[in-house]
Structures are given as C-alpha cells and as structure tokens.
Structure 1
Amino acid sequence: MLSEVGLELPVRGVLPAVVAALGDAGAGVLVAPPGTGKTTLAPLAVADRVDGRVLVAQPRRVAARAAAHRMADLLGERVGGRIGYAVRGERRVGPDTRVEVVTTGLLVRRLHHDPELSGVGAVLLDECHERQLDADLALAFTVEARAALRPDLWLLAMSATPETDRFAALLGGDGAPAPVVSAQAALHPVERIWAPPPRAVTPDPTRVAPALLDHVAATVRRALAERDGDVLVFLPGAGEIAGVAGRLADLRDRVTVLPLHGRMRGADQDAALRRPSRPDGSEPGWEAADRRRVVLATAVAESSLTVPGVRVVVDAGLARVPRMDLSRGLGALVTVPVSRAAATQRAGRAGREAPGYVYRCWSEATHQRLPAQPEPEIATADLTGFALQLAAWGRPDGTGLALPDPPPTAAMTVARDTLAGLGAVDDDGRITGRGRAIAAAGAHPRLARALLDGAPRVGADRAAEVVALLAEEGVVGPGDDLPAAWRRLRAGIDAGATARWRAEVRRLRAALPAGTTPGQPTGTTPGQPTGTTPGQPTGTTPGQPGAGHRRTGQPGAGRTAGAAGRARGEDRPAGGTGVGEHLPDDLAAGLLVGLAYPERLARARRAGGGSYLMAGGTAAELAPGSGLAGSAWLAVAVADRRPGAPTARVRSAAPVDEATAREVAGPLLIRERETAWSNGDVVAREVVRLGAIELTERPLARPDPERVATALLTGLRQEGLGLLGWTPAAHALRARLAFCRQALGGQWPEVDDEALLAAAPQWLGPELAAARRRADLGRVDVTSALRRLVPWSLAGRLDELAPERLTVPSGSRVRVDYSDPAAPVLAVKLQETFGWPVAPRIADGRVPVLLHLLSPAGRPVAVTADLASFWRTGYPQVRGELRGRYPRHPWPEDPTTAAPTRHATPRRR
C-alpha cells in the first residue's frame, strides 16, 4: 500500500527500520515529531508486511476520522474501502478494509470483547504520549493480550516526544526494552513572537476572562495583517471558540472563520481540515479556495492532524483538562496553562508545509514557568470508568499491567467505592454481572447505571435521551436548565448538536437489554441524542454518623416517583406499561440525573432562593437569574467549585421533588436517633436524612442516658468547665490539689482545664449519669466530685499536706491562698505573728508559706518567706513608719518575744 503513495515525508525513510524491528521483536516505538507523516504512512507500511487488519488507535475522534480520510485520499480511494474508521456512533469499514483507525476507547472495548483481536495483525497506538486514560488502558491491555494470547501480534507505539524510554520498557519482553526508531523533524522553521496581553489577566480555572478573548482576537487581526497564509488559533474549548468567532465576525466578508473541536459534526470538521478544491466555491459548505482561513481549534489540532494552508499559529496558552475534587465528589473540566511540550506541538502546526510563525499570547518569562509536560490524565481525572475497565479485565488494582503510571491510591479508593455502590464490583473489587452490564453500555458507569435503572422507570427512549444529554455535555448549550436543553434538542434548534445527540441516543438505546420497556411518552421522537465525554462524577460517601448518633433504620427507596405523580393527580392511563413513564419530562430528567449522581441531589436552603445543600454535604449556588431558582429540590448534573470558594456553582441541573429524591437515592436515606450538644444544650431527636440533607425530625421523649452523658461531655469540652457550679470551696479545693501536684509530684492528679476535661468521665461520672440538660450541670457538687480524683491512699493526708487554714501565734486560723501553686500565701496581721521565729512550711516541710504581713487596717506592709530575716531588718523600718499611725496597736522592739494579739488596746475614757 505504501508503494502506491508518492508523498515524501521525513518518516518514510525510517519505515523499513520500523517494519524490521516489528518483524524481529514484535513490538517497537516510533518517535516522529509532528508533520513527519507517522500517522498516515506508518500504517500503510505495516499493512504491506503483516497478515490481518491493522488497527490504528487515536485518542480523539476528530483525529481518527481525519487520519482515515487522509490515508484514503493518498490511495485515491473513499473511506470504507481499504481504509476505514470507527468512532463512537459511526463506523465506515468494509470487507476489503486493511487499515482501520479507531479511538482508543473503542480499542479498549474490542479488547474486552475479543482479547485475541481475531483477524488483527498489528496495533498502532498513535500519540501515546498524550496519556489519556483510554490510551493508557489500550496500551496496557494490548501488551498483556500480546504476551498471553497473541505473540504474533505486532504492536507499535507512536509518539511525538523523544522521551520514549518508558514506552520502550513497557512494550519490551524478557527484561529488554522494545526497539526505538526515530525520524527527524520536517525542516520548516517556525519563528516565535511573544504577544502577551497589555494588562495581566488573572487566571481562573472555571472560566476564561473576556479580556483574554479580546486579546486573542486582536492578535489574530495582527497576524492576518503581518503574515501570509491561513491562521490556526488554539483555544481551550468550544465556548471560547464561539467567543473569539463573534469578535471576528466583521472579517467574514474577506476571511473564512471556521471552528474545529470534538463536538462538531464530521462534515463540519472536514471543512476545517481540508482546503476547498474548487476555486468557484460551488461545492456545498466550502468557501472559495483563494480566501484566507482562520481556524479556531481546541487541543484536537495539536497533533495527528494537518490543517492545510496554515502558516501562522495564534496560541491562547490554555488547555482544558479534567479534575476531580475527591473530598466533595465534584468533577469538572478546568482551564490550566498549557505545558511547554504542548506549546511546542502547537507551534509545529505552522511549519508543517512551509516556514511559519507562532504568536504566543504570553511572555517569554511566563513561558519559562510553564510545566514541562502536561499532567497525565490518570493523575487528575475521575477514575470510576478506569477502575471498572480494570475490573472487567480481571486486574482490579492494575497490578502487573503495563500502565505508564500507577493510578493514585486515593482516587482509586473513591472509584472502587463508587463502583461498589453501583453494584458493579464485589467486596474484592471483582466485576459483577451488573458491572458487566454497566460496562457494556459504553458510557461512564454512573450514566450507564442511570440508563439501565432509569429505563424501566421513565421509558427506554427518554432514558437514552437524557443520558445522552449528560454524556454529550457539548450539546447542552447555554444555561443550567437541563430539561430546557432537552426540549431544544427535540425541537432541532441547533442542527449540529441535535445530530450528535440523536446518534448517541440511538447507540444508548441499542445498548439496553432486550425487552426493556419502550415507554414512548407523548411528544418524544424515538431514537434521538448523542454523547461525547462522560460527565464528571463524584465518588464521595455521605458522612458516617458520629458520636451520639444511632442508626435505627435504612428505608432504602421511599415513595416512588410514580406515587409522587399520583399524589399530584397524574393518574396513569389504563394499559400503561410502568409508573415512571408518565412522569413529566422535567421530573423524569431529574430522576435520571439523580440515579447517576445521587449525592448531588440538592434541597434549597430557603424557599424561593438559589442556595442549595447537596446530599454529599457540599453547598451549591445557582447563577444569578437562573430559571431553576425557586425549585425546592434539584438533581445536579454538573457543578464545579473554584479553589478556595465556600460553595460550588451549579452548571446543569433538573428539578425534582422529595419523593423522587428519596426513591433514587435510597442508600443515602437514613433514619437516626440523635442525641447531641447543639445550640448550648442537649438535643435529643429522631431525624431522617438524605445524606447531609435533613428531611424530618421529632424530639425523643426518653433518650439513651449514655448518649445524653456523651452529649453533656461534648458541651463541657466545647463551652468549658464554667458550665459547672463552681463554689468558693470547689475553687479552693482545686487550688490545693494543684499545689500538691506542683510540690509533691505525679501521684497527685492534674487539675488544669485540659486534664479535668479529659478525665471528666472519671470524676463527674455519677453527676453526668444523673444529668439530662445544661441546667443540671450547674447543680453539680463540684467539691465532692473533685475528691474522686485523689487516690484513696492520699485522700487522708490532703489536709495535712495542704491545709486549708493555718493557726498563727495569736490563735487565729487563717485561710491559705493556693492561687499560685508554686507559692501558697498566708495573709495575716503583723501583730498576730509576734513570737513566730520562722515562717511555717507545708507539704511535709518542703514549701515555705509566703507571708503577706498586714497593717492593722489590713493593708500589706511586707511580703516574706524568711520571717527571721524580716524581724531583723524589715520590722524596725515598718515599726518606725506605722506605730505613730496606729498608736493603739502594739509595736514592741523585739517582736520575737512579744505576745501576739489580734486586738487593739482599748481607748481610755
């Protein structure tokens, strides 16, 4: 076949070496930069030498179709002859097909169906460096199938990056890497032009700033004015493509502006991928050949595709990648800066046919800070479908497979939990019969579950229509109202989106098991819709009941949606086939979304508002002006949350009612008896929840005393020991115990707040058992309770070691102040200490008491722990200052021999 092609491209010279390597080793790696012809010439060379069909796997549908058309054109044939292709929802092959281009997702499905790949002589994995999930699986499964079942199968990994050691090792056998063959790049230089915006644009992962789109459009105008040839513009998504196209609308009288992304119809993609061959422009849909073109493309144009006529690339510098918020179960496509490797790939589009130019909408300094390579999808994406594929292959954890990178543990745990909740895998992670049915649907496991379980409820056609709408996010259109988008597609307002949607509906409808109730409701057309990328799901599990919660029942499904309909007077006509098929469309859509994402069922926080709480525990907001505002319940299909934002933003949802929510999220429906500390007191109630959403509650007349005690302990730890009734005696005892701990060591209990709260069950046990509410804590005898902390062997010595009062020489019993455990204080009038040669000591004589000696008026005149020294040096000064002020009180010259007194000399009459 290659001999029939006269096209000379750089890869052609190394193809004999590629075929020889495959013949010798059975596997190999071809490294060929963009524009060298590997995608179109290598399959033809391999087909010349191998028996059986050559499968070429491409990560993207656009690239698969384009590669097949390109090879067929080189052979002067139409697609469907010796060159064919198969993508989701479309296959063009025939009995003479020798080369079939498929998406990596279809290759994975074929391997599940026929691991031997009967009739296939070679598999070529193109653009394997892009590291999409399906590409990783296709590589791993093909390597294992070749080793175990088909040693004669040729396997070639083709990459545009020279970092091939990893792939060579994965494809090699007996410890030796597979041979690597490299081709040189096409010799067309590309000049880089740095064109950052005049003012910095703040990055936002959920949206592209209009200011940046303005700048991209202005850069396109600059490129058209400064350079010749067609312009290829890289933007992150279809929305941005539409935005820039609108900004260039005034150029359409002299420039053809064409979009190129994966959500378009094949015919529309062809318009961007081929220059018109008729200069008069008479062929439908093609512009005149002499007009310049501006092709606005997503990352689908980075590799494997040659957009003819392009001499200039304008790169916005952004890429859209999947991200999974594991903690909230929210997955979304986010916008990130492009990697340096991807920027190089994009720039190469300008030099495929001649020297070119690339305008980069960022600075050279910013370029140096970009990541070197894009993150592999396995590191950031939702892995639920990936985990199901592994389970279906018989390797639930992927161990032993030739995966370029192992899946992250946390993401795989969430994925397996999700699959277990769907009944797709057993406790060991092995696939179940239901799991195989889900996998056979060819959609994300959550969407497959909605299809299989929703068809009997709402009818097979409506189930396929809504699931196709969820799978093909690109057909939804503007706004967050999913049923409104459904109605627009039925009406065929957007022909391109409707065609894709209908194709996917037909595929999903055919995937339903035979005998599924047709359920054709009024107003629908059989076999509509389509789907591209499975919606991003969540793998969260609702929070388990914490301390103080008791689960007393798990009702499973509540009232059925049909019952809800009858409650609204929507009786089913005689002869109907099922309760759900006569639900209104809005409620049917909500039911299906709820089946796919039960943890995203959401109830309004207040009537008529746009703020919601999802069953998974995440708060969510509708956009201002949303038509869904005021809905009491929503089934959220798509939501995302900006980093650091307290709530998620609802992007797509359908209204539901509580009965439907209870039905579709049965496993999340729990009835609990809950006794907890709430709003400053014990609250005991029976509550029914749907995940984090509280549905009903009623007070418990006789709560469990143990749980009441636990709640009271929680209250003490939250609000502090001040909840207890602390008398002066209790405070004094606590201080004495703290002194003993300080002076005598660890045999005495700690009585600081932290220690008392930690030991509360021990010293407050009987009081907590008797208490029922906050007020009861204020009546606790804290003094008696604290004594429980003192070991029995020490309890009798407390008054000896830390006496509450000390007898002074005058005979008075004065209270000791233990507020400072390191220095207990005795405040006593000076005249009452006459005759005391030294200060008293406590704690078995280890600690001297700090004397606060007071004047007759009770004011401190001296502080000392060394009374003997005070009598010698301090007292004479005090005597001289005070005896004139207090003449009725004794001030002897020798206080150590004077009689102590607590009385003054009586006045003379």
Structure 2
Amino acid sequence: MSTLPIADLLPAIEQALLHHTQLILQAPPGAGKSTLLPLELVRRERVAGRIILLEPRRLAARNIAAYLAAQLGEKVGERIGLRVRGESRVSGKTRLEIVTEGVLTRMLQQDPELSGVDLLIFDEFHERSLHADTALAFALESQQALRDDLRILVMSATLDGLPLERLLSEAVVLRSEGRSHPVECFYRPWSRQQRLEPQLGAVVLEALANHTGSALVFLPGQGEIERLAEWLRERVGPEVDIAPLYGRLDIRAQQAAIAPAPAGRRKLVLTTNVAETSLTIEGITLVIDSGLERRAQFDVRSGVTRLETPQIARASAVQRAGRAGRLGPGVCYRLWSAEQQDRLDEQSPPDLLTQELTGLMLEAAQWGSRVEALPLLDTPPAGALAQAQRLLTSLGALKGEQQLTPHGQAMARLGTAPRLAHLLLRAAELEAEGLSGIVADACYLVALLEEDLRGSERLGVLFQRRCGALHGQARRWFERLGARPGEAHGQWLGLLCALAWPDRIGRLRSGSRYQLSGGVSADLVEDHPVTGAPALVAVNLGQNERGSRIFVAEPVELGELERLLPELIGEREHFAWDEQADRVRAERQRTLGELVLGSEPLSALSDEQKGRCLLDGVRGKGLHCLPWDEASEGLLARLRCAAEWLPEHPWPQVSDEALLAGLEQWLLPNVLGMTRLEQLKRVDLVAALRALLPWPLPSVLDEQLPVYFTAPTGTRVRIRYVPGQAPAIPVRIQEMFGQASTPRVAQGKVALLVELLSPAQRPLQITADLAAFWAGSYEQVKKEMKGRYPRHYWPDNPLEAMPTRLTKKRMEQG
C-alpha cells in the first residue's frame, strides 16, 4: 500500500491537519485516499480522538472496513469500526469509524459537539449524495459554533464544478495526481431503437475475445444486469464467471463479485455505478461501459419520484474507464461516440437539486435551522421545499415556518424516512387505542418498505412472501418504539399505507385509472392484481410520458379510513360553477385530500360567494362570454396599445390571460349576487375596465389615445386601435383637403394610418404620410375620380383647398 500515490502526499496532509481545521483533498480513484490515508492516520496516531469516515455507499463502507481491519491484523469492531443501517460494529478500542446511510447525520443530531471525535472525513464527495451534503452542512455549523477544534477533511476524485473552496473558505487544498496506468478507449455507439443488452453483450464478447484479464461492465440498474447475465451465459466460454454486483444484492453475493477470479479463470462483473469509486476489484483490466446510470428525479407537480436513465457525466466516464488502469494498462469500450464524449456534462446533478427534500427539511428542523439557512453547495429548489413543507405539515411534523412539533421531534428521532416514521408512531398510538397487532404489522412493513420494491404487486402478497426474512430489521423498529416484538399478520397494511401516503390514497375512476388524494391521477400497470379495487394506496409510483403509473399498491376501505383515521378527513365549503346548469353550485364537502367522500347543498350564500362562483364560470368559458360591445372592445384595445406606446406609465396588465387571472379585481365588484351567466348582460364592461386605472391614467388615456379623430370639417371619426398595428381612421378624401401633416396620437409618437375614401365611402388610398400623398399619388387619384364623381370637388392643389363634406353645387350655394 505504501506505493499508492497518496503516500507521497501524507506528510503534507498530516501537516495540514495539524495546523488547520479544514482540508480539501483531490485524488483520483486508486490513489489510496479511502484506504492508505485513514489507515496511516490510525497507525501513526496522528489524530488524538476518533476519526469518522463517511462513505456514500454501504458496499464500499463494508469492504473498506474489512480491508483496513485486515491490514491491522484485526477484525472489524476493534480499531476499525463500521456503522451502517441495521449494523454496528464498534468498541472502546475503535479509532476509525466508517459510517454511511445518514449515520453521521444521526450522530450530529444526537451530539452536535461530536464529543470524542477529532476528525471527520467525507469520502467521494463528488457523488453529492443528499446525506453527505446534509452532514457537511451540520458539521460546518458545529465547527463554527461549538467545536472550533473539529477538523473536517473533504475528499473528492475531482473538484471541477464543485465550489468547495467557497463553502470551506479556510480550507487548505491539496491535490494528488495519482499514478493510474494508461487506458485505451474504443467507441462502439449503440442504437436506442434496439434493446441495449444484445448490443452491449456483443461488445462484451468482442472485448473478451481480443483482450486478457477480467472485465467490469457498467449498466444502469438491476434489471439490465439480470437480462445481460442471461444473454451472456449461453455465449461466454466455460472459463468465464459471471458475477452481478448491485446495492440490493445480499452481502455474500457482493463479496463473491469483488473477490479476485480463481487461477486460470476470468471474471465478468456486471455492475451499476456502485463500483464506480471506492472499490478495487483485483484482476480487472477491461471496462465495458454502457454510458448509462439510473437517476432519481422528483417531480414537484405530481409528487412522484421517477427513475430516469440518462447518459452519465464526463467525470463518471473518466472514473469508470480508470477502473481498467488500476493495476496495469487497460482497455475501455464505450457504447457511445467520441463526439458524444466531448459533449457530456461535466458532473451529474446533485441529489439536492433532483430529489424529494422532505427528509432534509425534517433534519434541518430538528437541527434548529431552516433549510435555506444551511451552508449548502447549491440552493435547494423552492418548489421542492414547498412540497416538503406541505407534506410534513400534513403529517403533523411541522407548524408555522418549519418549526418542529413534538410529533415531528419523535419522527426525527426514529431515524427513518418521514413517512415511515409517522406510520410507526401512529401505529403505536392506534395499538394503545385497541387496534391489536398494528404495531407488529407496522414494524415489519417498515422493514419491507426500506427495501427497493420492484415489480407490480399487491403489497400484501409481497409482505407475506418476505415477512419471514425481515425479523432482524423489524426487531430494530420494535426496540425504537419500545414495543414487545410480535407476529405480523398483515391485516392493517392498507390503513398503515394510508398513514404513510395520505396523498396517494386512490379511488377508482374508470378501468385502471385512480384519482389520488394528492390531486393527480394514476394508472395501475397492465394486469395488476389489484385492478378493479374500489380504493387503494399507491405505495410505489412511477412516471412516464403518459403520466403516473402505480406499481405496488394495497387495497383499502375508505369507510374504514374515515372511521379509524379521522385526522385524514377534512370538511370544506365548496363553491363552484355548474357547467351543465350554467349556474352557481354550493355544497359542504367531506374530503380526504382532494377526494370528495360526501356532500350536502349549501343555500345561504353571500353576494360575494355567488359572484366568485360566477367568475369560475367565466374562467371556464372564456372572456367571450362577457357582454362586449364596440365601446368596451375599443377601450380594451386602447389600453393594450397604451402599454405599448406609453410604457413610462403604470398601465394595468389587460391581456386575456391577465384579465382572466385578475377577475376578482376588476369584474367581481360588478357581479356581486349574480348566479347565472345571462345576468352578465347587465355588466358595464367600460366602467369595469376603467376602474383598473389609477389616477391620472384615465385622463392620460383619453388625451393621448382618444376614441375619435375630428376631421377639419368637424366630422368625428372613430379611431380603430389594434395592438401591434398602427391606429387607423377611415375618412373621405374631401374632408382632409388642406391637411398637410398626418394626425398623430400617443404624445405624437404614433402616426394614424389614414384610409382615404371616395364620396361613396369606398377605399381610394391608405397612407401614413399625407404630405407625400398630396404631392404624389393624389394627381392620379384625381384623374380617375373626377370622371366618376364629377359633382364633387377635386381641386388641383389640395393643400390650399378647403376641406368639405359637400358637392360642388352645394358649395356654390353655400
């Protein structure tokens, strides 16, 4: 191990830790930052107190702990300790604890000073897990307020795109260049119009045939791994062992995948990005990279976290390829083109920007802070924070501005997802109220739900099948609730799921579509065993381009929920517009979220309530249902033109969208007490629109964009205003004689388009420049019109002629 690249940097690291409390270390995979560095700190006793090493993945944490303990000739639990979810191996001798899965966050919550801990190491920070971001934020606040001697070391394979030096402003930055061996890359783009596995399998066979050594094949998820393994088993030679490797695999199978291939054999490890960093698999000289990863993306609108399969970032591609060059020169096959490689994003987006933030908000509230006030590398999305606050408030965990309730404090102490914590605590209360066996069902259910549920099943069937294997995990929840372990029968599953997902209680609409209490609708996947159930809870939701889809569900009786979980039931007065009857409908509704369980009519409505319901009808039908006439349409056009031509004034927004959105401001006062659309005929739209204008805009509008133009003869002509076009006036040519300049509006900024008409009111010429017309085109017009209208006045010099509305005879008589 002393030959690892990080060895050369150890003296500088030790000096930095001796004189500084913040250190940033960049070192590529294989440099020894996860193994040699913490091992030497323990061996040399360079740190007085305990060291906590945070690993983002359980698989890496277990293997690093086992490896380091073996280097010391010890078992895990002595100087090298391990704490992951459901497993703790530490003792009084432990100097280095390797932790993951939010364990460090729990340690900080329980003891913000981290008594006895001198150094926190954040490994593989470039992966930007939500747990790592949260723990680092808490650690920095602890360092600033409570432990100015606490040392923090953040390690990353790359610092590109990570503003760590801004967050850790006092940090010393050290870099290890590493000594990885050269890796030759070949590009084999795959067609997305065909299945991935056969195309990837063909590249695997090519790599095995042309090169020696074992291979590491990167795929996005378990499903692809299993399908590729099945495809390859009939096609690889007998000397090749196929070994899947992913997070849900049991520990024994994971260890078998990581172990070196026996002498004379080759190993083909099919893995997710769990093997991208922190794991070294001996004998790997080949990497075949699909270029894909499974990534969670939270949709705020639907409240659904969907799994996407995007292209990996450039940093991931470099790290994956580097696995082939750990022990010697290697080869990497990439299932994309060299041009695509140049266009890859630098880094994958962090969990903080893509995942549900309910857990983070609960942690922050327990910490005594708002999420927005935490020292985080990125600003969390406002929509995701708002959704998290709504959910935690509905679960009774928060009140006001992210303030923790006693129930919320109990939820936070349980150390599981907020929904599941609420489920456990309410189960304990319901058991005390007489629901026998519900705590046992809850503890086993939470143990099951903490797994990654796959497939399309009824939860109850999955529960009965897996229950026997969940004793150990369930016992942990019995202990945390202070309850005696019992046998689970699964009779309360629907009710328990409703507690965890009050926003996913669904009522059948038609076929396989359910309306969910959260306000969205979702379809059961095809041939789901729960199809046809009158009501259910959607436990596992997905999403595609067609909408939300339900994979795992459990039937539930709405009447039972209403009887046993009264906190889920609400009451509201609902005023709406009845489209069929074209009138106001008002009722008192009994609701479960957005589901209406029952209603009764309301009769005593105020005039304002009636008017607001009528506005709903206007919104549904559109502005065209209002009694528009020439005057109101003209005023609306003038207002829109005024905003365009006189922007220095604060004109109100009067687009169709703005008017519909603001009906309460301008239309409501004029429809109070109305209940039918036909009554809208009485509304004075001109007065309603003018009421939007603050002083002195009414007079500005009338002066600068007048309704009429007065011709030299005294004739008043309505100006035609159209937004985006020049205003126009139709006027007989004789009435404009002597008019040298073109009339203008809007402080003289906008010329009127003059539509000159014949004596018979037919168009002759359209001009925005009267002087040019008189000097040019008029002569030709005069020749044509003089013979057609001989009784009318056609002067040779129109600029010196008197304007008139009369014929020549009447002019002579006049």
Instruction: Give the shorter-chain TM-score range.
Output: 0.7 to 0.9
TM-score in terms of structure 1 length: 0.70
| Offset of residue 664 of structure 1 | 4.7
Map of 1:184-583 to 2, 5 A cutoff?
Answer: 184-197=177-190, 200-201=191-192, 211-250=195-234, 251=236, 253-275=238-260, 288-397=262-371, 399=373, 401=375, 403-457=376-430, 459-473=438-452, 476-490=453-467, 498=469, 501-512=470-481, 514=482, 516=483, 520-521=487-488, 524=489
* Pairing partner for 1:65 from 62, 68, 79: 62
Distance in 2, Cα, partners of 1:738 & 1:289: 86
Alignment-derived partner of residue 15 in structure 2: 20
Distance in 2, Cα, partners of 1:718 & 1:597: 32
| Offset of residue 122 of structure 1 | 2.5
Alignment-derived partner of residue 556 in structure 2: 656
> What code does the residue aligned with 1:633 have?
A
* Pairing partner for 1:638 from 540, 551, 565: 540
Q: 1:670 to 1:129 in 2, by over 3 A?
A: same
Q: 1:853 to 1:635 in 2, by over 3 A?
A: same
Q: 1:194 to 1:701 in 2, by over 3 A?
A: same
| Offset of residue 149 of structure 1 | 3.5
| Offset of residue 709 of structure 1 | 3.5
> What code does the residue aligned with 1:371 have?
D
Q: 1:698 to 1:188 in 2, by over 3 A?
A: same
SS of residue matched to 1:319: coil
| Offset of residue 862 of structure 1 | 12
Alignment-derived partner of residue 135 in structure 2: 138
> What code does the residue aligned with 2:351 have?
E
Return 241-250 or 731-740, whichever deviates more: 731-740
> What code does the residue aligned with 1:180 have?
V
> What code does the residue aligned with 2:37 have?
A
> What code does the residue aligned with 2:447 have?
A
Q: 1:201 to 1:776 in 2, by over 3 A?
A: same
Q: 1:348 to 1:612 in 2, by over 3 A?
A: same
The question of whether the paired residues in 2 share the 8 Å contact of 1:323 and 1:333 is answered with yes
The question of whether the paired residues in 1 share the 8 Å contact of 2:612 and 2:664 is answered with no
Distance in 1, Cα, partners of 2:634 & 2:204: 83
The question of whether the paired residues in 2 share the 8 Å contact of 1:763 and 1:785 is answered with no
Q: 1:32 to 1:132 in 2, by over 3 A?
A: same
> What code does the residue aligned with 1:601 have?
I
Distance in 2, Cα, partners of 1:667 & 1:318: 41
SS of residue matched to 2:426: helix
Q: 1:781 to 1:670 in 2, by over 3 A?
A: closer
Alignment of 1:601 with 2:505, yes or no, is: yes
Map of 1:562-711 to 2, 5 A cutoff?
Answer: 585=491, 588-606=492-510, 609-642=511-544, 645-662=545-562, 664=565, 666-667=567-568, 669-679=570-580, 681-686=582-587, 687-701=589-603, 703-711=605-613
| Offset of residue 84 of structure 1 | 2.4
The question of whether the paired residues in 2 share the 8 Å contact of 1:261 and 1:298 is answered with yes
* Pairing partner for 2:107 from 107, 110, 117: 110
| Offset of residue 593 of structure 1 | 2.0
The question of whether the paired residues in 1 share the 8 Å contact of 2:623 and 2:656 is answered with no
Alignment-derived partner of residue 30 in structure 1: 25
Q: 1:255 to 1:670 in 2, by over 3 A?
A: farther
> What code does the residue aligned with 1:23 have?
L
Distance in 1, Cα, partners of 2:379 & 2:757: 73
> What code does the residue aligned with 2:555 have?
P
> What code does the residue aligned with 1:459 have?
I
SS of residue matched to 2:83: strand
Alignment-derived partner of residue 773 in structure 1: 676
Q: Which runs of 5+ in 2 are unaligned?
A: 431-436, 640-653, 692-706, 708-715, 722-727, 733-753, 766-782, 793-806
Q: 1:602 to 1:56 in 2, by over 3 A?
A: same
Q: 1:289 to 1:508 in 2, by over 3 A?
A: farther
| Offset of residue 31 of structure 1 | 2.3
Distance in 2, Cα, partners of 1:378 & 1:790: 48
| Offset of residue 772 of structure 1 | 4.0
Alignment-derived partner of residue 178 in structure 1: 171
Distance in 2, Cα, partners of 1:41 & 1:181: 16
The question of whether the paired residues in 1 share the 8 Å contact of 2:217 and 2:269 is answered with yes
| Offset of residue 419 of structure 1 | 2.5
The question of whether the paired residues in 2 share the 8 Å contact of 1:80 and 1:94 is answered with yes
| Offset of residue 387 of structure 1 | 1.7
Q: 1:111 to 1:707 in 2, by over 3 A?
A: closer
SS of residue matched to 2:373: coil
Alignment-derived partner of residue 42 in structure 1: 37
TM-score in terms of structure 2 length: 0.77
Map of 1:95-174 to 2, 5 A cutoff?
Answer: 95-103=92-100, 105-163=102-160, 166-168=163-165, 170-171=167-168
Distance in 1, Cα, partners of 2:195 & 2:140: 47
Return 154-163 or 226-235, whichever deviates more: 154-163
SS of residue matched to 1:39: coil
The question of whether the paired residues in 2 share the 8 Å contact of 1:871 and 1:895 is answered with no
Cα deviation, 1:273-316, whole Å, max 9, x if unaligned, reads 2226xxxxxxxxxxx44321111111111111101111111111
SS of residue matched to 1:649: strand
SS of residue matched to 1:358: strand
* Pairing partner for 1:55 from 43, 52, 56: 52
Distance in 2, Cα, partners of 1:152 & 1:327: 44
Distance in 1, Cα, partners of 2:195 & 2:339: 21
Aligned residues: 719
Map of 1:86-97 to 2, 5 A cutoff?
Answer: 86-97=83-94
> What code does the residue aligned with 1:487 have?
Q
Cα deviation, 1:554-602, whole Å, max 9, x if unaligned, reads xxxxxxxxxxxxxxxxxxxxxxxxxxxxxx63xx222222212211111
> What code does the residue aligned with 2:267 have?
R
SS of residue matched to 2:279: coil
Q: 1:19 to 1:164 in 2, by over 3 A?
A: farther
Distance in 1, Cα, partners of 2:34 & 2:171: 20
Q: 1:230 to 1:702 in 2, by over 3 A?
A: same
SS of residue matched to 2:278: coil
| Offset of residue 325 of structure 1 | 0.9
